Amino acid sequence: MTDQMTLRGRTAVITGAGSGIGRAIASSLAQRGCHLALADVNTEGLAETVSLLPVSGLRVTQHQLDVADRAQVAAFPAIVREAHGGADLLVNNAGVALGGTFEMVSEADFDWLFNINFHGVVSMTRAFLPLLRASTEARLVNISSIFGIVAPAEQVAYAASKFAVRGFSEALRHELDGTTVGVTVVHPGGVRTNIAERARAPEGVDDTEAAQRRAAFKKFLRMPPAKAGEIIVRGIEQRRKRVLVGSDAVGLSLLARLAPVSYWSIMAKGLPK
């Protein structure tokens, strides 16, 4: 096995590719000569992603996909196999946000987030694992969050889903040890995407308060998506098991190691009052 995973000529399936980190990962992979099967619920976003890619000589396909729809997900590998012949990379990037305390978040909203952020990852992995196993070298890349390492107040649903992605990814990596399929779990810090603007507000929160919550969260989203995408793809090339994206992610990961029980009391001091 070479020092780095060769991405040229490989085929990558990316969910949530219509914007943000998914679009940036697609761009970095395309620059390395990787064929792409791009999926998102937003077809306009997908078309914009493709228009921005260096696609000369590459096979790039667009697919409208709701990762929370298990029937759609189950049918997707056959579509990719027909278009690309197989898949070597699966990047489970699609995700949504939902702020609010546990008591503020309805059961329906909690389930909505989990169906996308966690069950979508599990369903996509189950569907595509046979294609990945058929590759000479494959990689499953699951996008968690720094909130899969630390769990702030008022992020109970989001943090729970991202911790679940981390646990799923780590256990699956151990099960696949010795096979041709590696597993990378990614923990981005504050990346400047539209996740805050698209975050669902809990029931009972008026528009003004919801806007204030989104604005406060958005202040922490500083890293350009292109930089995040490049960090993630370099991690894939290096076959890294965990990728921390951003100095904030590195710092909070260290804090969680040093103060695994009391880190929140330290974190909270840096939040706006």
Is 158 part of the annotated catalytic residue set?
Answer: yes
Residue bearing tokens 């107040």: 153
Would you say the C-alpha torsion 157, 163, 164, 165 has a positive or negative sign? positive
CA angle, corner 72, sides to 26 and 112, nearest 5? 85
- Catalytic option among 147, 158, 168, 217: 158
Cα–Cα distance between 252 and 147 in angstroms, integer?
9
Residue 145's nearest CA partner among 92, 73, 183, 214 is: 92
Amino acid at 50: V
CA angle, corner 193, sides to 187 and 194, nearest 5? 125
User: Do 143 and 17 touch, CB atoms closer than 8 A?
Assistant: no
Residue 97's nearest CA partner among 153, 162, 42, 189 is: 162
Q: For residue 140, report the phi and psi dihedrals to the nearest 5 degrees.
A: -100, 125
Cβ neighbours, 10 Å, residue 219: 11
Residues taking part in catalysis:
158
